Amino acid sequence: MEVRTRALEVLCETDPARKSLAARQLFDAAGQGAPLEPGLRLSRPAGVPGRPERPQLVPTLQVPKRSPFTLEGRAALIHAIAHIEFNAINLALDAVWRFAEMPREFYLDWLRVAAEEALHFSLLHEHLQGLGKRYGDFDAHDGLWAMAERTAGDVLARMALVPRTLEARGLDATPPLQAKLAKAGDTRAVEILDIILRDEVGHVEIGNRWYRHLCRERGLDPIALYPELVRQYEAPRLRPPFNLQARSAAGFSPEELAYLSSGL
């Protein structure tokens, strides 16, 4: 089957385990030369994105904050990270099917992201089950997918505001989170987050690279355009502390890092 068509099918899959496996298989198939048609215009079916019945999705402020120093709180924290990774599979697959007429490398990049996010989710869910819980046992919010919907009409806005804004926040949040989990004695969670942080640097770099590619194609200044997109699409304002080393490795320029640090 054609790769982008299959990506849409996988996006509509509701079972997290089947979605994770299918995302990894699709990346392998694309790497082995499965047909991929950038010019194909696909229509959005019902059921995008495919999700299980649980977790229940609630407003962000209604998701309780939990301490990692109790078993229940630590499970809730691991669940929250797993939910982010599950959404990230959907976001990557959505970029593959939704945006036509991009270079072949664009689709291969986002298929790789989907496969790696699927691995992250699987590792976290396995660990969560070791804590006596499963994905869906706690409420979650829908912030990542909400921005995907807002940017559905423009691939440039999607690249600017999902990978290099919302997902890049994970680069900042992960080291402090690892410190808390280490203090709580959860060495396995720290190890999984090492894998996630390593891969997320690459995912954010992909977002940066394609954002700049699209800006060049349209004759736009990526630095001047970014705050305009933040205002237009009501993206969240990023707050310190920032993981400047990871952001630099992910392709943020010195000018962009200075802009972040200025708090403007």
152 C-beta neighbours (distance < 10 Å), count: 15
The percent of residues above 70 in pLDDT, for the chain, comes to 99
**Does residue 106 belong to any structural domain of this protein?**
yes
The answer on pLDDT for 22 being more than 90 is yes
When divided into structural domains, the chain yields a total of 1
Question: Residue 24 falls within a domain, yes or no?
Answer: yes
Token output for 37: 């048609």
CATH number at residue 163: 1.20.1260
Q: What is the mean pLDDT of the chain?
A: 95
Judged against a pLDDT cut of 70, whether residue 125 lies above it is answered with yes
Q: Quick check: is 150 in a domain?
A: yes
What pTM does this model have?
A: 0.96
Q: How confident is the model at residue 243 (pLDDT cuts 50, 70, 90)?
A: very high
- Cα distances (Å, whole numbers) of residue 180 to 39, 132, 147, 150: 47, 20, 29, 33
pLDDT over 80 (residue 264): no
Looking from the CA of 109 toward its CB, the CA atoms found within 13 Å total: 18
Q: Is the pLDDT of residue 104 over 80?
A: yes
Asked if 123 and 192 count as a contact pair (C-beta separation under 8 A), the reply is yes
Is 18 a member of any domain? yes
Domain that residue 9 falls in: 3-36+63-262
Write out pLDDT tens, residues 132-190. Answer: 999 999 999 988 999 999 999 999 999 999 999 999 999 999 999 999 999 999 999 99
Mean pLDDT over 96-101 rounds to 98
Helices 3-12, 16-31: inter-axial angle, 10-degree rounding: 170
Confirm whether 20 is domain-assigned: yes
The Cα 113–Cα 23 span in angstroms is 9
Question: Is residue 52 domain-resident?
Answer: no
Mean of pLDDT values over 111-133: 98
Residue-level pLDDT at 237: 85
